[in-house]
Every structure is written in C-alpha cells, then in structure tokens.
Chain A
C-alpha cells in the first residue's frame, strides 16, 4: 500500500447497510485515499442476512453490495485505492465471488479476499445468559445466527494477500479502519496506545456522514450547509497515531469540534473502557482541536490490553410484529385517535400478548410527559408482538377495520405483519474463534 509521506489517508464511504453510494464514489475519486472502508452491518443486519442465507445458500451478503461495487470498481482501480468492508455479512465468500465476477465482467479481473470464521453458532453456549436480560440465550427462541466481532487479527492476513478488495462479515466497525492502518504503518498490535489511536479514528469515521454534519442539523441552532450534498469523511493518520478528520473540498456538511465531539460520544457506554476486539480504548484524554476549513485534529487516545473474550451477536426467531397506523385531523383529532385506540384495545382484548398503542404527534416517540398542546393532525399507531403470524395479523386487521367501524375521518391507513429476528449479546473465548482468508478471482495483484 502506498503511504503518502508517512501519512495514511483512509475514508468511510458507508456507515450502515442502506447508506448512500455517491459520497463514496466522490471520496475515491477526489480523496487521494489509500483505503476506503464501507461499514454496512448493524447488530441486527447480520442476523437478517443469516436468514436470507438459509433461504438462499448463495445469498446472505449485503443486498446493496453489488450496486455499491458497480459504482466503485472503476474509481477504485483508476486511483489504486483499496477497499475494506464488512458487507459480506453472513456470507463473505459469496460476496467475494460476486464482486470478483462483477470485475471480470467489466474486463478488469480483480482479486477479492474473503474473511470468514466469525460465524460461531455451533461454538457458543446456548445456556449462557444474554447481556440484555440475564436469561439463557436459547430460552428466547430458536437461535438462527451467532457472529463474533472479529478484529485486526482476522483482517491482517487478508490485507497481506495484496488483494485490492477485502470483504469480511462481522468484523468490528473500528477494526475495519485499524487493520489497514496497522498494515500500512507497520504498527505492533500489542502497542496499545497505537491500537487506541487507530480505533479512535475508526470510531469517528465508522458512521460515515455522522461526523461530517449528518445527524447534526437543527435549523437556526446547529446549521449544516449543503446537507443534501453531504460529503463523507476521511482521516489523515500519522505514524504516531495523530489524525486529522476532514472531507472532500466542495462537498456539503461541516467538520468541526462540535460534529466530532458528538460522534466521539456516540454509543460509548464507558469512556474509560470502550471495548473492541483489538484494544480497550480510553477516550477520557482525547483532545479535539478545530483547525478551521473543515479540518479537526484528534489525538490523546490511550489504550490498554484487549479483552480476553469476543462479543457475539446472537440472532433468534422472536415472533411476528403486527402494526397498523391511521391518521385523524382537525378539531377533535386527538379525541378521535384516543377513541380509536380504545376500540382497537377492546377488540384485540388479550389476543396479542404484547401490545403498544400510541398517538404519533403526541406520545409515540417519548411518551406523553413531554408533549404540550393538541396537534392539528395525529396518527394512531398500534403495534403488537405475537409468536405466530396469524395472531400478529389481528393487529393489522383491527386497525384496518377502523376505516368503516371506527371514529369519523380516519385516513391514510398502513398495516402489515413482519417476522422479527431478535438480537442478543454474549461473549465467546477468543480461542474458540478461528478465522480464515480465501482469495477469489483476478489473479492480478498489487
């Protein structure tokens, strides 16, 4: 990998499975990157992918990956930028074969490395307590997936193959960034402060637009220029781990102390011990210095030894969710929505084990304690969870019935039932997880 004057340029072109594609293309074309990362897996995304793989043995990877790669393969090749992603989801080999085939079809064969071994469904203890409620995992329902959060150890061998594209499954988000930094800068993976510095960069970049002004704008209070043209982030990382976070010139958004501090705190449950497969990160001494011009310097991350065990996301069949919504407007809208709620409750009466009834516009997001005044329009929302589809369907049926058998003026009905895959967390001893690398396609290597 090229290193620009001892500095590595790494960007993030996706922060979740449904993220936009164009900002990633722009990052590759104009960001002078060494590596582009696409972070495409949430806690539940991998469990849903496991279900798709059960239904289709050739599936199970991120359904948007083909679209992303069609847009990115050309720019990646032209600029010599490497790609690292966890979009392999429940089937990194199938994803790698697909990407290799796309490249071959385009007349530019490409080596694609797949990292596997995060699937530990047959290696976890089903009687282990779930973090969420302390009950044994298997007591929640049929277990359909278990994926260990793998880290730099698993990704480095794939980078060492020289393949320009590396596709993993449940690699931890910050590890997708740390591994190419370790590879390019020759860091020792037991140098905890370096591991902490690279993990901090990954943590700040992993949600893509969330550090460049996405998820930030509040008109008149926290304005963000050109939000529709939001640029995605890149970091310039020095050999000592110090980094500057920025974005391509001319894109929308903002990178300053405020946007970076918001992302620094994101999903951090203990700032003294943010656990990843690679390190225990302490952000309590991190400095965030706005340099102006959409550039922010970060540094001061401290590291301690990595955890002995790896976190595992476990997916289970949690039943079916029935939902229905209908709107009311004008004088008395709230009273009519409340009447509709009573009617649905009486008609469903105990058939659905878990039922929630809210009025959107009043108490659906936070409960009623913070609401003030009556809205012009509001929307009844009923949601229920049941073990079987037929029972969950009762929710959608009874909300639909409000059209002709409910209060006056209901409109805009939406109702349906979906299967629910629940996700629980546990841990697995590191030595029970064996990761492997396989290279598909191409043959052309850098």
Chain B
C-alpha cells in the first residue's frame, strides 16, 4: 500500500472510488472512520480526512453528522459516467500507439477484443476492507 508517488490521500480516495465502482461499497454503505483508516493503514488521521473531504466534494461520499461517512446515492453511476468519458483517451489511445509500434493492425486488435471479451474476469480491487 502507498507505493505510488501521489500524495497518500489521493491514493486512499482512489481506492475508495475503486470499491464504489466494483460494488464492494454500495450506496448508503458506511465507510471506515478516519480513526479506523488511520490505525488500519498506520497513516495520519488528517490524511484520511483529506481523502474523505475530496470524495465529499466529488459527491461520492456524504457525511451524516455524528454518525460517519456514507456512500452517496448514485455515486457509482456518476463515477462510471466520468470514467467512460476518459476511457478511450486514457486506455485505448496508448494501446493503439503501442500496437502501431509492434506492427499490429486495428483488425488484430478488434479480433482480440471480440474473442477475449467473454473470457476476461471482471476487475476486482485489492482492498476489500473499506466497508
């Protein structure tokens, strides 16, 4: 955990987004408190709080005063819509570039996609403890 160069709160926020997208965290599920986050991952509570604040701004989480943080209604759908917009530029453009370098044609790529789409398992996240 936390091997990347991004600030840790970015990495925590991204892990929670991943869990919301994968369904490990569902709408209205409570997420761990900042204290639980801090002791589980041995990070500063302020770092966890920063990640939560960012997710509240994005509408992924909302706060129930005195109770804790919960996954906002429609959070997964909103995240999915945002990621769909970025998907082609972020994921497929590099694939096309690399394929060109390797002398693979677009037909090779589409053939691969059609034959392999059904046999590839759905993505899972590393952290299942966010509940």
- Whether A and B are associated in the same complex: the answer reads no
Q: Which B residues are within 8 Å of any A CB, using their own CB?
A: none
Q: Which residues of A contact B (CB under 8 A)?
A: none
